[in-house]
Structure 1
Amino acid sequence: MTRFDAAAELLRDDLIAVRRELHATVEVGLDLPRTQAILLRELEGLGLEITRGAALTSITAVLRGGRPGPVVLLRGDMDGLPITERADESFASTSGAMHACGHDLHMAGLLGAVRLLVARRDELPGTVVFMFQPGEEGYAGGRVMIEEGVLDAAGERAVAAYAIHVDSATPFGQLVTREGSMMASASALRMTLHGTGGHAAFPHLAIDPVPVAAQLILAVQTFAARRLPATDQAVISITRLGSDSAAGNVLASAVTLEANIRTLSMTTLDAVRTQLPTMLVGIAEANGCRLDAEFIASYPVTYNDPAETREVLAVLDELLGPERVTRLPEPSMASEDFSYVMQEVPGTLVFVGAATASGPTPMHAEHTVFDDGVLPLQASLLAELAWRRLARG
């Protein structure tokens, strides 16, 4: 029976140090050269087959075990967010970008799993692909890495994929996951509403798109409540609104709007994609306006394969005890581009609590903080999940 927790504890100081270095060196998007350089330095000399991305600064590292077996993939994302950090940390970022979603811990935790598995390479019953991925925060870096061949980097398709995501709002060391839909899809509807513009004193001589835009906003909310089943809802929010009026006494000739759309099934996503623009175009035309609408599909539903997730839950229960493992009753409406991987390979995304002793903080905030003492647990669980899946064949 494998147990990596004792070996992972010996890596604690090194993992915390590299996490803090990564936190202070945060970069945004698909091009993360300084982050990539730190990771390559940490992977050097471990006997891995390393490939760098072409369209992004990704790293794919392949570890071939000493015993025959299948291929398993472990993922850690690399990018930060364009947030100015306000957290009181000695290693806080000063660049105007911030690791406010814990990707610095994801990289350090995955590095820990690399070291744990490399140390037992001769016994390893198969191959592990380590996926260090830029561009999770809205740039679809996972999709780009798949296009560049990460799922087949070992010469054959991975049979399972796992990722652990830290959470600053969940009690330290608590594990959270569920079978089936884990996180929502994320899409957008970008719209431009055209009127004619005119003098603010004479609205009857113009077609003013602003009050029509207000009707569209209300219609979006009504759509979710009345067009979709209560058992398979969507969250639709107007996140951007602006006009081309440059003066207070000028009626706008155009208004721009953007709706952010979250769904938990393809059925609901298809209904929103086809029905919502049609309804909004009709409202615009009824008011003498023209609406240009573009639907932009982004991340799919993050779907935890039920069979793989039952195995994962059994391992977590065994290692930590059922009281440390939460079966999430409902999916989260946030999204994750690990969803692209799990569209192709059965797998599981698990959250681990990293709230500090001073209490939880929200994610994606300027004052988000994580307890990086969670790193040995994160590293050992990633290594354990990979090993157990390989041993199953």
Structure 2
Amino acid sequence: MTDYVRAARALQPELVALRRRMHREPEVGLALPVTQRLILDALEGLDLEITTGEALSSVVAVLRGSEPGPTVLLRADMDALPLPEESEVHFASTNGAMHACGHDLHTAALIGAVHLLAEARGGLAGDVVFLFQPGEEGDDGAALMIAEGALTASGSHPVAAYAAHVIPGPAGRFRTRRGPLMAGVADLHISMHGAGGHGSRPYDAIDPVAAVAELVTALHVMVTRRFSMLDPVVLTVTQLTGSSAINVIPDTASLGATVRVLSPGSDERMRREVQRVADGVAAAHGCRAEVAFSADYPVLVNDDAEAEFVHTILAETFGADRSDLGGEALMASEDFSRVLQAVPGAFVLLSASPADADPAEWNHSPRVRFDDAVVGDLAAALATLAARRLDR
């Protein structure tokens, strides 16, 4: 069996340089032409079957092993956030966007995994599909790639799928878990419809602002009183709108919130409870509540057997002290959940904070920094998981 960790060390300088170039030129959303070009250039000369997306700037590469066998899928997200960078690294972005979630590191590592597995093609019995995906940050790029046939790019449905994500923490430690690892997420918008009037005569109006103000507290209390802490849910109100003039009571006031759950049952129950609370508060104020949920990503659920396989392989490869099976789920969300709805697999977290990050900023902070010294190990981890899974 190829020693992918040792082979990745030779690629490390090239992968770090590529990651930093992507970091300097981040792109947001589904159209990432510069990033796509960098990926295609990095894969040039390898014996791959490459296709690019139609609805988005995706790249799908298929590596055929020397012998027939099953298909394993590896994925990296490649989009950035519309966030001006404040990290002060010498390769920081200056275009108003930022790789504040580490997707540049994921992409560089997956490119490394392609090179490692291409070099070891003679020992592979089966195929590996590599997905380079735009639009993870709220644009549901995974669903678009699936609709364009990414899951059947090799001609057969994958038997397993793996992806990884960097998070804060001492660099180089992997973690996964059985079952739910990341939350499903939905946007919540509630409008309270009343009857506007002059701010000096609130008794002549039906004030929707007062109803919305009460509703914020009622929703937060509802979560703590109606849902068990053993099956966590999060509802966070982040937006409030009312009148455009300070002395006017508007006809309508509204709020926006993010809702996150770790089980489908909690999602359905949350919708019912929010409607009940909103209707009750509205009735108390003589208003009418209009509730709208827009679902984004489902719960990311690891296959139990695949999570155990990932933990075992990473512990064997990097040492037992660098691989953990367990810990808490994250209430952040991920559209790799779309892939795991269709393919058994596992998502892996890799801590990657620089040693001098004290305290370490979390993902999506304009000051977050990730230690790209882990990029070679992440490339080796992905390559090893694919190769060992094909060997089963």
For this structure pair, what is the TM-score category when the shorter chain's length is used for normalisation? over 0.9
CA offset at residue 286 of structure 1? 3.2
- 1:37 matched to 2:72? The reply is no
Whole-angstrom CA distance in 2 between matches of 1:114 and 1:353:
22
What is the SS of the residue equivalent to 2:383? helix
- Alignment of 1:157 with 2:180, yes or no, is no
Amino acid at match of 2:88: D
Deviation at 1:222, TM superposition (A): 2.0
Q: What's the CA shift for 1:195?
A: 1.5
The structural deviation recorded for 1:174 is 0.8
Please name the residue that 2:256 is paired with.
258
Q: Could you tell which deviates more after superposition, 120-129 or 275-284?
A: 275-284
- Relative to the length of structure 1, the TM-score reads 0.97
The question of whether the paired residues in 2 share the 8 Å contact of 1:305 and 1:347 is answered with yes
Q: CA deviation at 1:252?
A: 2.1
Give the structure 2 partner of residue 320 of structure 1. Answer: 318
Aligned to 2:181: 182
Separation in structure 1 between the aligned mates of residue 320 and residue 388 of structure 2, nearest angstrom: 18
Structure 2 residue aligned with 1:93 = 93
If the length of structure 2 is used for normalisation, what is the TM-score?
0.97
Find out whether 1:271 has 2:265 as its counterpart.
no
Equivalent residue, structure 2, for 1:214: 213
**What CA deviation, in whole Å up to 9, does each residue of 1:172-199 have, x standing for no partner?**
1111111111011111211221111111
5 Å-filtered alignment, 1:1-393, equals 1-167=1-167, 169-243=168-242, 245-359=243-357, 360-392=360-392
Residue by residue, what CA displacement relative to the aligned partner does 1:258-305 show, whole Å, maximum 9, x if unpaired? 121110100111101233123312321332112221111111111111
Q: Which consecutive residues of structure 1, in runs of 5 or more, have no partner in the other structure?
A: none
SS in 1 for 2:256: strand
CA distance in 1, matches of 2:318, 2:123: 24
Shift, 1:149, TM fit:
0.9
Deviation by residue 1:27-78 (Cα, 9 ceiling, x = unmatched): 1011111111111111122111111111111111100010121000000001
- SS of residue matched to 2:18: helix
- Determine helix, strand or coil for the equivalent of 1:354: strand
Q: Secondary structure at the match of 1:11?
A: helix
Distance 1:207 1:130 in 2: 57
CA contact 1:240–1:259 (8 Å) conserved in 2: yes
Q: Distance in 1 between matches of 2:312 and 2:153?
A: 29
What letter is aligned with 2:296? S
- How many residues were matched structurally? 390
Alignment partners' CA distance in 2, 1:273 and 1:98: 34
Q: CA deviation at 1:322?
A: 1.5
Q: Percent same amino acid at aligned positions?
A: 48
CA contact (8 A) 1:224 1:233 kept: no
Whether contact under 8 Å (2:170, 2:355) holds in the other structure is no
For residues 66-118 of structure 1, the C-alpha deviation after alignment (integer angstroms, 9 at most, x for no partner) is 01210000000010001100111121100100000000000000000000000
Q: Is the 8 A contact 1:4 1:380 kept in 2?
A: yes
**Distance in 2 separating the partners of 1:29 and 1:328:** 32
Partner amino acid for 2:194?
G
> SS where residue 13 of structure 1 aligns?
helix
Q: Distance in 1 between matches of 2:182 and 2:219?
A: 22
On the 8 A contact 1:69/1:391 being kept in 2, the answer is no
Question: What SS does the corresponding residue of 1:158 show, helix, strand or coil?
Answer: coil
CA contact (8 A) 1:176 1:325 kept: yes
Task: Give deviations 1:102-140, integer Å, cap 9, x for gaps.
Answer: 000000000000000001112211100000000001111
Q: Which secondary structure state, in structure 2, belongs to the residue aligned with residue 366 of structure 1?
A: coil
Q: Which amino acid aligns with 2:251?
A: S
Give yes or no for contact 2:19–2:108 (8 Å, CA) kept in 1.
yes
Preserved CA contact (<8 Å) 1:79 1:103: yes
Please tell me the root mean square deviation across aligned C-alpha atoms, in Å. Answer: 1.1
| Structure 2 residue matching 1:294: 3-state secondary structure | strand
Instruction: Tell me the SS of whatever aligns to 1:47.
Output: coil
CA offsets, 1:190-243, max 9 Å, x none? 122111111111000001111110121112112212222332131111111111
The answer (yes or no) to whether the contact 2:208–2:250 under 8 Å persists in 1 is yes
2:15 partner letter: L
> Displacement, 1:247?
1.9
Equivalent-residue separation in structure 1 for 2:233 and 2:125 (angstroms): 43
Q: Which amino acid aligns with 1:203?
A: P
Paired AA for residue 229 in structure 2: A
Distance in structure 2 (CA, Å) of the matches to 1:111 and 1:325: 23
SS in 1 for 2:381: helix
Query: One-letter code of the match for 2:200?
Result: A
